[in-house]
Amino acid sequence: MHKKVAVILSGCGVYDGAEIHESVITLLRLDQRGAQVQCFAPNVPQLHVVDHYSGDEMDQQRNVLVEAARIARGNIKDVRELHVGEFDALIMPGGFGVAKNLSDFAISGVHCQVQADVQAAVQAFAKAGKPVGLICIAPALTAKLFGPGVTCTIGNDHDTAAAIAQMGAVHQECPVDEIVEDSTHKLVSTPAYMLAQSISQAAAGINKLVDRVLELTQQ
């Protein structure tokens, strides 16, 4: 039986949305493993828009759901339509959109709040005991999503790891091609572009994360 996996995106583009390489690697690996995938994103404005060529902020307004639809080739739904009973697992790729659009971590740090619809969706999976995969910067939200004591990784960035610990989660250092698993919470995380110097390095850890998340759906 094919597993059904929800993927939450945060826009389109590393600096103001979902990291495109991480998102595509995730979707590719899920497809290679025979999973049925549905992408979701919150129907909210982006924090800001960044010119990915110059790195400068642009005087534009964009919508997270509309931008994320670029990655999903239009096959995407409002995260409010994400019902945990219809899926076996959930995965969230990284990109600054996680810290800017799915939360305000980029601005508020340890005092951040997760976007309400995203928080409700992820916590529903946690409450149901269904596996969740968090990639790149997404594990920075772990304590807000799973509560204190949960274990995760963003690699080895000292400042981000310290923030994770201050919020109540346990950070475990991890190389780019490995994963960290909290078996109690069925949570899997990997550093991806928090450490990766190439798309193949990012893929090494993401592929392991996807494989492990799918394995956990059997338990």
Annotated catalytic residues are: 136
Question: Rounded to an integer, what distance in angstroms lies between the CA atom of residue 45 and that of residue 124?
Answer: 24
Q: Which two tokens stand for residue 96?
A: 């600054």
User: Which of 107, 178, 183, 177 lies closest to 140, judged by CA?
Assistant: 107
Let me know: does 160 contact 182? Beta carbons within 8 Å: no
Residues contacting 6, CB < 8 A, separation 6+: 37, 38, 39, 40, 82, 87, 89, 90, 91, 121
Q: Which 8-state DSSP code applies to residue 89?
A: E
Burial (CB < 10 A; 0-12, 13-18, 19+), residue 19, is buried
- In whole angstroms, what is the distance from residue 65 CA to residue 176 CA? 29
Residue 40 DSSP symbol? E
Give the alpha-carbon dihedral of 153, 135, 183, 79, to 10 degrees: 130
